[in-house]
């Protein structure tokens, strides 16, 4: 439907100034059949919109308004929320921070039966974006789609514009997968491994090319976990846009796209239709802790010039023709060396440096968590935005926020430098809401040979400010999601020019569930002059039993009272004995019992965590025949 009305809208929009797209998204579970080429089939319950799945591509033109009514009709009590990935929701340009979507950050989780109204414009952005649920790992069950902002002044010419999502599919639903993952039975924190890759939400796909035409292919990785390489047999990609930033056209035959990232490329079709070609998507297998024998590591999609000619075989069956497939990593474009088309000069210095040491470790509950420094993000009792907008002058006082969200209060137009040092062997695509950042340093991976021999501290090469590994680029790449390499580092800079509450997190959704997040609270005083909690926001919070005023612990009588604030589990002391464990278990249970009685507060994102702790402790007590 959206595709049909689009050309019409585009024509209309030449004459009107901005168009309002009114969308009604009523979400519910649907059985979806995924069918493979060998008759293989998988049925999974996915989250559809208005009884349809996959979800529609949304196409708008720069400057347009979106009015989207999201109604939660999931019949299993599952809350939701919706984020438009990469949109700034610039509050200086009349937008509202409360439209950003991450649950417990800028809104309350939307319970079944409620409707939340997303109303915003896209005044200053163009290119390839996407929308997805921002509640737990829910978008893995299909609540996600592409969002394209067309540019009437696009500097590139092409004949056809095609959007392709690539993702990973887990056969179990996200809640079960999360429960198994965040469990003391998975003490190493091994990420769940997907069962399939999807190409535009199917097991494989086909694009029809006509000779002589020029195509714009917009790739979006809408997956929960794995990055993917993309290559098209005998065709060159010219990268022109990355995460909504136009870049100096750069040719390559391999793209690397992590979860959350986008790359738009121009492709010149062949002059004649003499054969069909393979469009390969290839999993970044270095991200997997184990490779199951039945996991297909790559998928062959078709670029069809002539349906009467044979389909293209996998490029991996013709390796001698494509030797670069043996060194995908070396052949994929490194985004550090891309140049924005518009010259955004380097922010030469910073006014505030935030250093995040990325680590993974177990806490006292036996579950593996992810940390910035020693803090694992733990949802506060009420959304951080509620706290900002109801605390008056106290909004700039860090004591009213939970230290467990890693809050950073930013001043007007500060240049913030984020240093990420990876003390982990995994790749992490980090995403900042509300901004693009400059990538001013980006190291390679450092654990390639030594893995398993030296401790992580010794392998890791953290950023050394007095001896940066690379020359600072004069025109650094700007994007909203960047990959931090194993045991390496990246250095990012952005200007605090968008008052709001913006979460910064790993886009491997499993790592976000493990707590790999921080929150920038930008110019809270200015935000208060621009935005108040609207009626709809408050209704949604009331429906889940969250107060519409208060500090991180939901208290507004005494703003420094942090009683009942959800905090990360205690750390695991060395030589933890059963006796110690028992004491911990009992005291935690007592605490949880208290928590339990205030279930009205409890339906938030906090609960899955508490539930996990509760269940694992219950199991432990049961196993040891301890009555409680």
Ligand X SMILES: *[C@@H]1O[C@H](CO)[C@@H](O)[C@H](O)[C@H]1NC(C)=O
Give the CB-side neighbour count of residue 100, counting CA atoms within 13 A: 28
Q: DSSP assignment, residue 313?
A: P
At closest approach, how far in Å is the CB of 275 from ligand X?
20
In whole angstroms, give the CA distance from residue 164 to residue 204.
11
Strand ranges across the sheet with 262-268 = 196-199, 160-169, 214-221, 262-268, 237-242, 245-252
Q: Does 508 bind Cu ion (CB under 5 A)?
A: yes
Identify which range of 199-207, 473-481, 553-561, 569-577 contacts ligand X by CB under 6 A. 199-207
- If one counts every other C-beta atom within 10 angstroms of the C-beta of residue 144, the result is 26
Q: What is the DSSP string of 214-283?
A: EEEEEEEE--SS--EEEEETT--EEEEEETTEEEEEEEES-EEE-TT-EEEEEEEPPSS-S--EEEEEEE
Cβ 105 vs Cβ 19: under 8 Å: no
Binding mask 9-38 for ligand X (x = CB under 6 A): --------------------xxx-------
Sign of CA dihedral 312, 316, 322, 327: positive
At closest approach, how far in Å is the CB of 164 from ligand X?
6
19, 156, 158, 316: which one binds ligand X (CB under 6 A): 316
3-state SS class at 185 = coil
204, 489, 511, 555: which one binds Cu ion (CB under 5 A): 511
Binding mask 469-498 for ligand X (x = CB under 6 A): ----------------------------xx
- In the list ligand X, Cu ion, none, the entry touching 508 (Cβ below 5 to 8 angstroms by class) is Cu ion
Q: Does 88 bind ligand X (CB under 6 A)?
A: yes
Identify which range of 238-246, 385-393, 414-422, 464-472 contacts ligand X by CB under 6 A. 464-472
Q: Does 297 bind ligand X (CB under 6 A)?
A: yes
- In the list Cu ion, ligand X, none, the entry touching 331 (Cβ below 5 to 8 angstroms by class) is ligand X
Q: Does 57 bind ligand X (CB under 6 A)?
A: yes
Q: Does 409 bind ligand X (CB under 6 A)?
A: no
Find all residues with CB under 8 Å of 386, minimum gap 6, and list them.
108, 533, 541, 546, 547, 548, 549, 550
CA 74-77-79 angle, to 5 degrees, is 75
Q: Does 306 bind ligand X (CB under 6 A)?
A: no
At closest approach, how far in Å is the CB of 224 from Cu ion?
11
44, 134, 428, 435: which one binds Cu ion (CB under 5 A): 428
Sign of CA dihedral 604, 608, 613, 614: positive
- In the list ligand X, Cu ion, none, the entry touching 296 (Cβ below 5 to 8 angstroms by class) is ligand X
Identify which range of 78-86, 255-263, 422-430, 608-616 contacts Cu ion by CB under 5 A. 422-430
Give the CB-side neighbour count of residue 69, counting CA atoms within 13 A: 10
- Would you say 27 or 585 has its CB closer to ligand X? 27
b/e 195-229 (16+ beta carbons within 10 angstroms → b):
bbbbbbbbbbbebebeeeeebbbbbbbbbbbbbbb
Q: Does 156 bind ligand X (CB under 6 A)?
A: no
In whole angstroms, give the CA distance from residue 199 to residue 162.
13
Q: Does 296 bind ligand X (CB under 6 A)?
A: yes
- In the list Cu ion, ligand X, none, the entry touching 467 (Cβ below 5 to 8 angstroms by class) is ligand X
Shortest CA distance to 333 belongs to which of 224, 486, 214, 229?
A: 229
Q: Does 331 bind ligand X (CB under 6 A)?
A: yes
- In the list ligand X, Cu ion, none, the entry touching 511 (Cβ below 5 to 8 angstroms by class) is Cu ion
In whole angstroms, give the CA distance from residue 143 to residue 133.
6
Q: Does 397 bind ligand X (CB under 6 A)?
A: no
- Residues in contact with Cu ion by CB under 5 A are 428, 506, 508, 511
- Residues in contact with ligand X by CB under 6 A are 3, 29-31, 45, 54, 57, 67, 88, 90, 92-93, 119, 124, 162, 164, 200-201, 205, 207, 253, 282, 296-298, 316, 324, 327, 330-331, 435, 464, 466-467, 497-498
């Amino acid at each position: 439907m959206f595709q049909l009305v689009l050309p019409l809208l585009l024509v209309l929009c030449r004459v009107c100034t901005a168009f309002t797209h009114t969308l009604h998204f009523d979400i519910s579970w649907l059985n979806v059949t995924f069918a493979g080429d060998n008759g293989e089939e998988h049925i999974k319950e996915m989250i559809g919109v208005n009884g349809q799945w996959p979800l529609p591509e949304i196409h708008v033109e720069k400057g347009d308004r979106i009015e989207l009514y999201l109604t939660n009709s999931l019949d299993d009590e599952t809350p939701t929320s919706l984020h438009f990935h990469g949109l700034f929701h610039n509050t200086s340009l009349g937008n509202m921070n409360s439209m950003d979507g991450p649950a417990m950050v800028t809104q309350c989780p939307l319970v079944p039966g409620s409707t939340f109204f997303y109303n915003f414009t896209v005044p200053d952005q163009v290119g390839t974006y996407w929308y997805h649920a921002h509640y737990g790992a829910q978008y893995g069950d299909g609540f996600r789609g592409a969002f394209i902002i067309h540019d009437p002044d696009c500097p590139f010419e092409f004949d056809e514009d095609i959007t392709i999502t690539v993702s990973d599919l887990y056969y179990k639903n996200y809640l079960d997968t999360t429960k198994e993952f965040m469990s003391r039975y998975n003490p190493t924190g091994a990420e769940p491994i997907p069962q399939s890759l999807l190409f535009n939400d199917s097991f494989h796909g086909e694009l029809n090319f006509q000779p002589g035409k020029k195509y714009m292919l917009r790739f979006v990785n809408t997956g929960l976990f794995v990055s993917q390489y993309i290559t098209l047999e005998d065709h060159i990609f010219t990268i022109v846009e990355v995460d909504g930033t136009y870049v100096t056209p750069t040719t390559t035959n391999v793209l690397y796209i992590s979860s959350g990232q986008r790359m738009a490329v121009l492709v010149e079709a062949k002059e004649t239709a003499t054969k069909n070609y393979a469009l390969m998507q290839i999993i970044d297998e270095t991200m997997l802790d184990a490779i199951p024998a039945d996991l297909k590591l790559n998928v062959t999609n078709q670029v069809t010039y002539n349906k009467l000619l044979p389909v293209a075989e996998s490029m991996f069956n013709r390796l001698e023709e494509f030797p670069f497939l043996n060194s995908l990593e070396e052949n994929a474009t490194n985004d550090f060396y891309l140049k924005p088309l518009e010259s955004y000069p380097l922010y030469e210095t910073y006014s505030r440096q935030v250093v995040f040491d990325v680590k993974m470790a177990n806490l006292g509950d036996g579950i593996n968590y992810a940390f910035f420094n020693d803090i694992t993000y733990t949802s506060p009792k009420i959304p951080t935005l509620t706290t900002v907008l109801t605390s008056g002058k106290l909004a700039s006082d860090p004591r009213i926020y939970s230290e467990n969200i890693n809050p950073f209060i930013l001043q007007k137009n500060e240049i913030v430098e984020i240093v990420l040092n990876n003390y982990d062997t995994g790749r992490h695509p980090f995403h900042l809401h509300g901004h693009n950042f400059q990538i001013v340093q980006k190291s390679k991976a450092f654990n390639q040979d030594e893995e398993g021999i030296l401790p992580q501290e010794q392998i890791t090469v953290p950023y050394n400010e007095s001896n940066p590994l690379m020359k600072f680029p004069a025109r650094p790449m700007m994007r909203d999601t960047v990959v931090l390499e194993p045991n390496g580092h990246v250095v990012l800079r952005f200007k605090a020019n968008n008052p709001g509450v913006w979460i910064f997190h790993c886009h491997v959704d499993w790592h976000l569930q493990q707590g790999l997040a921080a929150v920038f609270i930008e110019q809270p005083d200015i935000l208060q002059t621009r935005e108040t909690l609207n009626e709809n926001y408050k209704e949604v919070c009331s429906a889940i039993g969250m107060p519409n005023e208060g500090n991180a612990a939901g208290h507004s009588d005494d703003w420094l009272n942090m009683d009942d604030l959800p905090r990360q589990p205690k750390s695991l002391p060395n030589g933890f004995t059963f006796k110690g464990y028992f004491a911990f278990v009992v005291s935690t249970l007592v605490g949880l019992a208290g928590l339990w009685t205030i279930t009205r507060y409890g339906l938030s994102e906090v609960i899955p965590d508490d539930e996990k702790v509760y269940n694992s402790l219950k199991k432990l007590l049961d196993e040891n025949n301890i009555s409680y």
